[in-house]
Amino acid sequence: MNIAILSRDAKLYSTKRLKEAGELRGHKVEIIDHMKCVLLIEKKNPMVWYNGKKLDYFDAIIPRIGASVTFYGAAVVRQFEMMKVFSAVESQALIRSRDKLRSLQILSRVGLDLPKTIFMDYSKDTEGVIEAVGGAPVVIKLLEGTQGLGVVLAENKKAAQSVIEAFHGVKARIIVQEFIKEAKGADIRAFVVNGEVVGAMRRQARDGEFRSNLHRGGHATVVKLDRHEKYAAVTAAKKMGLGVAGVDMLPSKRGPLIIEVNSSPGLEGIEGATKVDIGSKIIQYLEKNAGKKKIQKDKINA
């Protein structure tokens, strides 16, 4: 197969690993900067151009779209889909996963447990908001935040009110969530590929930090999920429409609480902790799906 990895940086660990995994399985793999793609929209002839050439020969793509360029990145993925190219992450699922509020609404609707969450339109009733999620301490998050950025732990009611008012003052959209004390600064990342958990790690925040993101100095260890955690991870990925996903959960007294479903999860931490070749799992997912389309195309063209 011909596979394109949509990535802005060929030196990133995840990009390099996916390219390596694809080539080891006998595929031709190219790294394409999606922000340099030009989209030709024409009746019954959608096309993607890149550095002056048509990208009409790919069988599958693996989107590695950064949060800051979701709009254009999703448009590129959608264009490839219109060209009948299989995508490891569908454009609509990508957009859906980047909307924290919509994601939580979807997960709540299907019965998955979450931390109590409040979203409001610059409400001045900050005291009522804080009490609605169980009182301080509370976690306050920017809707557009990634990798732990834009996430604040307010230890008491006065601090929480100040942070909420400050975010509202700059017209920033936020959510307020209950703080899960028993998680003790740890969360679980389950990596789901094609409806199966292929690896899981526990991420522990460094001393003096409550955010467990590896980019914030946390460290990861392999973990075996129980049936409730596996069910939550697989169901969350499925309901978000994601064939490849990183599902983040907090351990709690009432079971796993989902905090985020990531459509472009990094491979470095999970592969390092689990020693599982996640990159090859993703390539095998492409083979099962894009391979079928390629066979159908070949039969038509024969």
Say if residue 217's pLDDT is above 60.
Answer: no
The pLDDT value given to residue 172? 86
Q: What is the mean pLDDT of residues 61-80?
A: 96
Q: Give the tens place of pLDDT for each residue, 130-148.
A: 999 999 999 998 887 555 5
CA distance 270 to 161: 36
Q: Which helix (H) or strand (E) holds 49?
A: strand 47-50
What pTM value is reported for the model?
0.88
The pLDDT value given to residue 50? 97
Judged by DSSP in three states, 276 sits in coil
CB distance 176 to 140 below 8 Å: yes
CA distance 88 to 104: 22
All domains of the chain in start order, with CATH: 2-89 (3.40.50.20), 117-179 (3.30.1490.20), 182-263 (3.30.470.20)
Judged by DSSP in three states, 252 sits in coil
Q: Give the tens place of pLDDT for each residue, 93-135.
A: 999 999 988 999 999 999 999 999 999 877 788 899 999 999 9
